[in-house]
Structure 1
């Protein structure tokens, strides 16, 4: 089978399963919905706030949308190992690298598309809902970079999650590793290092530097994305190795 044909089959798998469609649509709903809610409810920084970032403020719901992207990617990749479905897929596409590459492309492409929608709504809607004098426009420094970067951030997170799912071959196992990695470990490492130095190189902390209007930490917006990309390459390479070397 050609690569476009395999892409089409993977797209059919995703759009034909309600659980995958639902988890994918949750990404923009959670990201944009919670971000708009917070911007409308608060509208301005706290009186004692000294590090208010109007760009980052528009992405309050990103961590919730990120969790939805992780769940979607893990289910799309590891769900085939349930009840031996992977054997049927590999019988149709014996070239495992082709199969794996097409699956990653569809997963990443789907999340990139919904992520861009979520990012635009979060930024434009969030800035419009903020009190006068606190919102900024998309032409202001760092704004457009954050809008585009948010979509690519979610796409890279989804590919990283898919790689881990391919390595572990289990939805439960992959989520048991990824949820603490993104929701617990950054705070634990940050508290232990007292300066966040080591935590800055974790995938989510590094990638989210692109959402800051004026990053002032160890990593800049693009170096942070490079760190996240490196994590993603390692995870997807590990998944490729597992798929190539292990029996289905």
Structure 2
């Protein structure tokens, strides 16, 4: 156990240093929080009260409207954290320093996932509280049914989307390719699918994961079951990425 720990911690620390020095990754990570909260403030300051009076509105889910944009930053963070290894040729240096590819890949996944989760949780609570502050007496509090679950689950959702991007980038070795797939997918598919909560559509990564943001999901999946489906997608992508890192030449 001691040998394992002494091997993991320095590698994880090295991955943290690499991420700190990579401006595009840091910008994406900060943007997860900053853009989501800023868009929330803009939307709720202009149309928040009107939407609160809408009988067809779903106040809790609507509180996280800006997650549609925050998830793009989360995907970008996960993508750039891995794609930089390939675009700069740093992967050869990384694997020379850490020949155990599983250790290298696992440490990167842990660091990216940990940072994404921290940013996601801050974003979840920050988004909810910021939006409700503009609604006055019509606003929801953290005591509202499902509010804390949605804030925590929303943070986990953003972290899982980042990890999904990590795995796909390790497989495709191209940040452009991954962004070209995931960003249109999360924006267009969610728009086309709309309110379809059953059938195959319910098991798409973003559609399933966002069930945790609803106060009372009515589809096939419950809030945590939907998040579990997204976790399964992310796990599959990470396993595929692990295989690619282990089997392919640097």
- For the aligned pair, the TM-score class normalised by the smaller chain equals over 0.9
User: What is the root-mean-square deviation in Å for CA atoms of aligned residues?
Assistant: 1.9
Of the structure 1 ranges 157-166 and 14-23, higher mean CA displacement relative to structure 2 is found in: 14-23
Query: Structure 2 CA distance, aligned partners of 1:186 and 1:110?
Result: 26
Any conservation in 2 of the 1:32–1:59 contact (CA below 8 Å)?
no
1:54 counterpart = 2:59: yes
Q: CA deviation at 1:222?
A: 0.8
Q: CA deviation at 1:83?
A: 3.5
* Runs of 5+ unmatched residues, structure 1: none
Name the counterpart of 1:174. 178
Any conservation in 1 of the 2:197–2:219 contact (CA below 8 Å)?
no
Query: Structure 2 CA distance, aligned partners of 1:197 and 1:52?
Result: 24
Query: Structure 1 CA distance, aligned partners of 2:131 and 2:191?
Result: 26
Name the counterpart of 2:169. 165
Q: CA deviation at 1:3?
A: 0.6
* Runs of 5+ unmatched residues, structure 2: 1-5
Q: CA deviation at 1:49?
A: 4.1
Any conservation in 1 of the 2:36–2:123 contact (CA below 8 Å)?
yes
Normalised by the size of structure 2, how large is the TM-score? Answer: 0.92
Any conservation in 2 of the 1:39–1:129 contact (CA below 8 Å)?
yes
**Structure 1 residues 37, 47: closer, same or farther in 2, change over 3 A?**
closer
Q: CA deviation at 1:50?
A: 4.0
Q: CA deviation at 1:209?
A: 0.6
Q: CA deviation at 1:198?
A: 2.1
**Structure 1 residues 196, 44: closer, same or farther in 2, change over 3 A?**
farther
Name the counterpart of 1:233. 235
Q: CA deviation at 1:186?
A: 3.5
In the comparison of the two structures, how many residue pairs are matched? 245
Name the counterpart of 2:29. 24
Name the counterpart of 1:141. 145
Map residues 57-206 of structure 1 onto 2, 5 A cutoff: 57-132=62-137, 134-188=138-192, 190=193, 197-206=199-208
What secondary structure does 2:221 align onto? Answer: coil
Q: CA deviation at 1:238?
A: 0.6
Of the structure 1 ranges 134-143 and 84-93, higher mean CA displacement relative to structure 2 is found in: 134-143
Query: Structure 1 CA distance, aligned partners of 2:245 and 2:129?
Result: 42
Query: Structure 1 CA distance, aligned partners of 2:107 and 2:216?
Result: 37
Any conservation in 2 of the 1:186–1:199 contact (CA below 8 Å)?
no
Residue deviations 1:150-183, cap 9 Å, x none? 1100011100110000000111111122122212
Normalised by the size of structure 1, how large is the TM-score? Answer: 0.93
Q: CA deviation at 1:84?
A: 1.8
